[in-house]
Structure 1
Amino acid sequence: MKKKIIALGFSALMVVSSCDVLELNPVTQIDTDQAIINVSTAQGAVNGLYNNLQGVYDWHVQVLSDVASDVSQQIDTWDALINIDEFSQTPDNSEVSDLYTVLYRCSDISNNIIAKVPGIEGAEATKNDLMGQAHFVRALAYFELARFFGGIPGGYEEAGVVIKLTPSIGISPSDYAPRTTLTETYQQVESDLLTALNLLPETRTDNLQTKARPTKATARALLARYYLYQKNWAQAESYASLVISDTRFSLVVPFENIFRTKNTAESIFELQYNNNDVSGLRNWYYPTSLSGRGGVALHDATYLEMTADANDARGKLTAKNSTTNTYYTTKWNTPGNIDNVSVIRMAEMYLIRAEARTEIGTNLTGAADDLNAVRTRAGIGNTTAATQDELRTAILAERKLEFIGEGHRWFDLIRTGKALTVLTNVKRSKGSQSSYALTDARRQVFPFPNVEVLTNTNLLQNSAYR
């Protein structure tokens, strides 16, 4: 297997397999002083952003977080995922290190665009768009870094992450900054998103561009998610409502079409994959009997939840591997691993608004209506939940079923304070077939890569991994 070299955080270079992190756009690899000199080279750098972002959502965010939860399990011999599955990962975990690497690469390319574009010649609207995209991707990168490595306010919190807002030109000891507070990290996410909202266009030239590149609607959608994590219910409801009222987006029927057709009305922000830029979701989630690797299967209990109602369209997107006697989600089934990845989609907006309305407490009927919109699309009946506590439980359960394999469940359990009570008897179907429990609250965040901690003496490792 070929190897690619990419920058690791702020510290060193490491080698990772080409199926893990996609090859960087050449524009992002030349000297940063020379890379952006006009609109054309700036656009090349922006293209490099999405090339790198593909390496974040190719499978890393989804698989790492789902395997850590009660959704999925690692059933083959990939130790990096087995350790996450068993709550025993270490700072040497290669897949966590790869994710950390490419997130900071996204940040650094964004920094370069934000620093250089104001000084080039070009139409102001074009320059604003390029900078808006960079602010959006930087916000997304730090949001992922915060929730993976820093924690979630009101759920479990350690310190934030290292924030660097200027381009990296060479490496020196002065570049190795300490961690910010978690509040400061999330404040940077908010600042970048609000800046992106101001700079990005309302729409683009066609549907593909509107899905593949952020617009104001994309920024609003990520702000809705951000404010949900901050428990700022009024803002979460407001931004989700703005997206829901945007007629360009809707809940797609039937459910499976979200994953069988690219760039549907369901999708708000969708990364584009093809034969040259492949994702790995089908490879991991698809059974070996159907030409996948079959390494990440559903937990048996989760499969039973998905299929409890025979009419539920989500349960129909499953398949059994008779060899291993395990079940899989079949959301991603395109040969060649060229399924697009919807990073943000409409069902999330409805469930964010449902949760926000539940927590505000003055419009429980509206919360139930939003929940029922998602349930109706799935082909199942309305919720019986009516009280605030009942709706909290119902919405969390619905999010689990709706976003199987999409990387939400682990963070939902943490932000709602339920990880230590839900993840108490997570039974693996293969290997030891033992049950595992998350008993150490400190393991609700992932470890910083060991090479980073060794190189940056100011970077304090998360407490469970020191």
Structure 2
Amino acid sequence: MKLRYYILTSAIVLSMFGCEKELVKEPQQDLTDEAVFESPTTALGAVRGIYSTAQTFDFYGGLPQVIGDYMGNNVDFVGTFPTLQELNNFSGVSTNSNVSGIWQLHYQVITRANKVIARINDVPGLGAEEKAQYTAEAKFLRALSYFQVCNLFAQPYQVSSGSNLAVPLVLADFTGTIEYPSRSTLNQIHAQIISDLNDAAAVLPVQYGDAKQTRGRATKGAAYALLSRLYLYREEWAKAETAARNTLSQGIYDLAADYSFYSGNTNEDVFTIQNSAIDNGRTGNGGWAAYYNPAALGGRGDAPFSDDLVSAFTSEANDKRYAAKVTGTATDGLPHLFTTKFPDAVNNSDNSPVIRTTEVYLNLAEALAHENATPSAEAITILNTRIRARAGLAPKAANSQQALIDALLIERRKELAFEGHSRMDLLRNRLPLRNGNPAAAFGGAKTILPIPQREIDNNPGLQGQQNSGY
């Protein structure tokens, strides 16, 4: 990891206070550690600053999720950005600027979380309960960052049972000694994620005083839900089941009655990054909505439905999720189909969906399906009465374990389309990212991103550790 990440963290740059702008009164370009952790108010600002960093375009503001879709089979690439086109074509290079930005932002979240974890107990006047909660929130966000950066830069668990290299594991606060960490294995990173999420779940509240915080701030249910996803990716079915049940047992999560819940902070939301017209993660190229909306609605129209996804939806008539689409002109000047999940391409105020209740039910059902050689009655009930019924589809029979798993994966694809899941759902099931393309095969070198070249150039610990094929 480059020295600059440590510098950014040790200075606690002003962007950490994206949610507390009025707190920043000093004229300097940044605040010292002492200034940040000198009072309960500024300490809370540091915690909120981690969320603000996670809001950015390169973290959960849309870019990693769009890249996942470009590498998968849910959207077509009709855009004009060559750095994204090469990833779509599995011809990426280690100097790709989008890849470099994604790496940097994930480590900014990690190092800012490390700073809070290391320093929060020294804040004068901050109560023990607040210290524990702020630490837990930082650990949740650190876990989310490590999970996502591993999914992007490391082969999935299924390739070599997690013994493959992932990313550098950095947990200590930077205090002046420069270190150059090498890549840890996927199993080592996953173990840290599990530790962080278990620590967080033990401390975090079930909910906060208002819906926006309950859905947009780390909670006990959110920590368990992310654990359920991680265990699902690792094929630890019993643990995935337990974690999903722990989420649902919190009593504040349920499926929405229809598909109008996006950005609503309802019981459908387990953890959602909050955006507004004046506080969002957009850049000059916009966020989620810019890619997933046609030009007539203010978007670029770069990521329309693929024919493969259209076929999945139209295999059964009257799917309400497919009905929630629009036709518009894409970047190529031709009409295409687009999702309506992110309608605000003008102000980018749409929330970023990280974990939904529907995913937790799908995690639970898939875990149950794998655990039972005979089709699980509970999993079938989830499939039909919760997922398919809301979509307006008739119950589906599942006469074997594999038939049930296949049915759940189809519903997962349709339900969570355009939310950043499809690429990893293909890879963890040992499937190609795109049929008919040898470069997209499971385990293919360029189904994952390269370690940015400037990281290797500046970190001796990473030299010789580039991903295969780059």
Give your verdict on TM over 0.5: yes
| C-alpha distance in 1 between matches for 2:30 and 2:403 | 52
Match for 2:83: what amino acid?
A
Does the 8 A contact of 2:369 with 2:405 survive in 1?
A: yes
Any idea what the Cα deviations from partners look like across 1:278-315, whole Å, max 9, x if unmatched?
34111111011322111112212212322443421210
User: 1:161 aligns to what SS in structure 2?
Assistant: strand
Q: Which residue of 2 is the match for residue 432 of structure 1?
A: none
**Cα shift at 1:339:** 0.5
Q: Which residue of 2 is the match for residue 199 of structure 1?
A: 203
Q: Which residue of 2 is the match for residue 124 of structure 1?
A: 128
Q: Which residue of 2 is the match for residue 368 of structure 1?
A: 380
Matches within 5 A, 1:44-443: 44-55=45-56, 56-121=59-124, 122-155=126-159, 158-169=164-175, 174-255=178-259, 257-259=260-262, 261-278=263-280, 279=282, 280-322=287-329, 323-334=333-344, 335-361=346-372, 364-372=376-384, 373-419=386-432, 423-425=434-436, 437-438=440-441, 441-443=444-446
| C-alpha distance in 2 between matches for 1:436 and 1:299 | 18
| C-alpha distance in 1 between matches for 2:127 and 2:34 | 22
Match for 1:117: what amino acid?
I
**Cα shift at 1:33:** 4.6
Structure 2 residue runs of 5 or longer lacking an equivalent are 6-13, 19-23
Match for 2:204: what amino acid?
L
Structure 1 residue runs of 5 or longer lacking an equivalent are 1-8, 14-21, 427-434
Any idea what the Cα deviations from partners look like across 1:71-103, whole Å, max 9, x if unmatched?
112202111111111111111122221111111
User: 2:232 aligns to what SS in structure 1?
Assistant: helix
Q: 1:204 to 1:437 in 2, by over 3 A?
A: closer
| C-alpha distance in 2 between matches for 1:438 and 1:324 | 29
Tell me the number of residue pairs that the alignment of Structure 1 and Structure 2 aligns: 436
Q: 1:386 to 1:246 in 2, by over 3 A?
A: farther
**Cα shift at 1:214:** 0.9
User: 2:327 aligns to what SS in structure 1?
Assistant: strand
Q: Which residue of 1 is the match for residue 453 of structure 2?
A: 450
| C-alpha distance in 1 between matches for 2:423 and 2:30 | 34
Any idea what the Cα deviations from partners look like across 1:84-133, whole Å, max 9, x if unmatched?
11111111122221111111001111111000111223211111111110
TM-score by length of 2: 0.87
TM-score by length of 1: 0.88
| C-alpha distance in 1 between matches for 2:83 and 2:30 | 29
**Cα shift at 1:415:** 0.9
2:21 corresponds to 1:25: no
Q: Which residue of 2 is the match for residue 16 of structure 1?
A: none
Q: 1:327 to 1:69 in 2, by over 3 A?
A: same
Q: 1:129 to 1:437 in 2, by over 3 A?
A: closer
| C-alpha distance in 1 between matches for 2:453 and 2:469 | 10
Any idea what the Cα deviations from partners look like across 1:37-64, whole Å, max 9, x if unmatched?
2211110111111111111111023101
